[in-house]
């Protein structure tokens, strides 16, 4: 093992690939180990806010990601049963003028493909598929890794970007299974052309209702509509990105909701089940030459649509720390210190947002509109979202650290 060996990233998901690309662009050799034996298009929509798109643009991916995305005009709040509509915020040019970067709505598979291609172009052979990390040991000079295919490898530092069920986190800090957050989700895609004209709009909608909410937004230049519904449940054990449900099961969950929702559900060919998992955000991510990023250390409910954006920010800040500090253990401590407060806040505020989106007050025909008027004032909206979107991962100051503890 040598401290001259490449940096290892475990997991070729969104955060791992952004970290890899940002490191390679800074002249640092990186190997990415991914458990999947092939990279397939799994998943559906992701929302990329200015804090995430700013990073993708700085990595040289702006045009490529914009081409596969939808640039929404704005977002709206709608009441689950009457469909009454409120403006949440404007996007499009407003996002660029206000936050210095666009807001894109993208299919995870499309974004993932662009990141894979960019990493492969920057360092051919960097992504090793079929490598599931099972164990590692670290010494003063490096990290030795073991994979389920029998392979071993050495690195100067290792970063677990291995998602919500992170093996790296488990080995570092012990078993902390993700908790089911009492919210079950449906996810589906609808070809926009199947929908009535009034639903073929380039806006995102947050439908709010007692005990559940639905988010819809356009993807792929408006050719697809992404549908994600979160419903409070006490028993829903599905823990997969690929578990299919039936249309009848999904439709049964939206009896009493507005016709627009029922219309969208009727056109989802395969609705997928998804359990929302969470965990108290970790306050310590780094031990010596090993650290974590993304869902591995701060899985979140999706109510602020920040899961992918946080992983993207992490990747950039990590690369800046490792590029600027030759002592990797110190650099990883600096990365953790730079990121832990913001990501913990986002996770906590996403959980709080669920209470607002699902509030029992929304069941009261007389009081529901007043509740939305009160809870979504322009001032409250700015306070909730402004600090998220204005963050600049390329410029945020890196804290001075004495050294790893």
Query: Could you list the residues that contact ligand FAD (CB under 6 A)?
Result: 10-16, 33-36, 42-44, 46, 108, 131-133, 161-163, 167, 241, 294-296, 302, 307-308, 311
Rounded CA gap, 265 and 244, in Å?
Answer: 14
Nearest to 312 by CA among 391, 210, 215, 366: 391
48 or 368: CB nearest ligand FAD: 48
Residue 240 token pair: 């997969």
Contact between 334 and 401 under an 8 Å Cβ cutoff? The reply is yes
> Is 347 or 401 the residue whose CB approaches ligand FAD more closely?
347
What is the spatial distance between Cα 246 and Cα 138, in angstroms, rounded to a whole number?
47
Least separation in angstroms between residue 349's CB and ligand FAD is 16
Q: Of residues 217, 371, 385, 391, which has the active-site annotation?
A: 217
Least distance to ligand FAD, CB of residue 16, Å: 5
Q: Which is nearer to ligand FAD, 85 or 351 (CB)?
A: 351
CA 175, 311, 125: angle at the middle one, nearest 5? 95
What are all long-range contacts of 149-154, with beta carbons under 8 Å and residues at least 24 apart?
153/8, 153/31, 153/33, 154/1, 154/2, 154/5
CB of 241 to ligand FAD, least distance (A): 4
> Smaller CB distance to ligand FAD: residue 133 or 153?
133
Q: Positive or negative, the Cα torsion across 248, 254, 258, 261? A: negative
CA separation for the pair 307, 243 (Å, rounded): 21
C-beta of 79 vs 230, nearer to ligand FAD: 230
Q: What's the min distance (Å) between Cβ of 302 and ligand FAD?
A: 6
Q: Which helix (H) or strand (E) holds 146?
A: strand 143-147
The yes-or-no answer on residue 217 being catalytic is: yes
Pick 102 or 302: Cβ nearer ligand FAD? 302
CA distance between the termini of the chain:
22
* Residue carrying the six token digits 């509030």: 359
Shortest Å distance, C-beta 82 to ligand FAD: 28
Q: How far apart are CA 11 and CA 9, in angstroms?
A: 6
In the bound complex, what is the minimum distance in angstroms from residue 309's beta carbon to ligand FAD? 8
Q: How many CB atoms lie within 10 A of CB 327?
A: 14
Contacts of 377 (CB under 8 A, 6+ apart): none
Which residue in 352, 354, 317 sits closest to 336, CA to CA?
A: 317
273 and 238 in contact (C-beta within 8 Å)?
Answer: yes
Nearer to ligand FAD, 162 or 260 (CB): 162
Point out the residue whose Cβ comes nearest to ligand FAD: 13
Least Å distance between CB 315 and ligand FAD? 8
Give the catalytic positions in this structure: 217
């Amino acid at each position: 093992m040598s401290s001259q060996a490449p940096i290892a990233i475990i997991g070729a998901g969104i955060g791992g690939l952004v970290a890899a690309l940002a490191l390679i662009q800074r002249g640092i050799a990186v190997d990415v180990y991914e458990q999947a034996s092939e990279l397939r298009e799994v998943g559906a929509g992701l929302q990329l806010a200015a804090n995430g798109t700013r990073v993708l643009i700085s990595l040289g991916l702006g045009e490529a990601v914009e081409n596969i995305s939808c640039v929404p005009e704005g977002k709206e709040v709608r009441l689950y049963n009457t469909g009454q509509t409120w403006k949440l915020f404007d996007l499009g040019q407003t996002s660029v003028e206000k936050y210095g970067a666009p807001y894109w709505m993208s299919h995870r598979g499309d974004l993932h493909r662009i990141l894979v291609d960019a990493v492969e172009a920057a360092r051919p052979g960097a992504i090793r598929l079929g490598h599931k990390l099972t164990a590692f040991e670290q010494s003063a000079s490096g990290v030795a890794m073991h994979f389920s295919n029998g392979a071993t490898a050495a690195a100067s530092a290792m970063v677990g970007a291995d998602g919500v069920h992170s093996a790296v986190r488990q080995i570092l800090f012990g078993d902390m299974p993700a908790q089911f957050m009492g919210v079950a989700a449906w996810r589906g895609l609808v070809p926009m052309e199947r929908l009535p004209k009034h639903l073929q709009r380039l806006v995102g909608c947050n439908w709010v209702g007692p005990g559940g909410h639905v988010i819809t937004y356009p993807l792929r230049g408006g050719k697809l509509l992404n549908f994600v519904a979160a419903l409070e449940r006490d028993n829903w054990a599905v823990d997969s990105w690929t578990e299919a449900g039936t249309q009848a099961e999904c439709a049964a969950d939206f009896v009493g909701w507005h016709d627009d929702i029922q219309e969208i559900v009727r056109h989802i060919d395969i609705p997928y089940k998804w359990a929302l998992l969470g965990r108290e955000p970790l306050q310590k991510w780094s031990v010596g030459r090993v650290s974590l990023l993304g869902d591995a250390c701060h899985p979140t409910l999706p109510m602020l649509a920040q899961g992918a954006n946080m992983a993207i920010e992490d990747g950039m800040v990590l690369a800046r720390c490792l590029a600027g500090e030759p002592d990797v253990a110190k650099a990883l401590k600096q990365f953790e210190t730079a990121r832990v407060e913001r990501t913990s806040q986002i996770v906590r505020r996403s959980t709080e947002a669920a209470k607002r989106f699902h509030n029992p007050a929304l069941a009261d025909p007389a009081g529901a509109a007043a509740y939305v008027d009160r809870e979504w004032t322009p001032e409250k909206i700015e306070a909730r979202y402004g600090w998220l979107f204005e963050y600049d991962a390329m410029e945020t100051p890196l804290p001075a650290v004495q050294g790893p503890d």
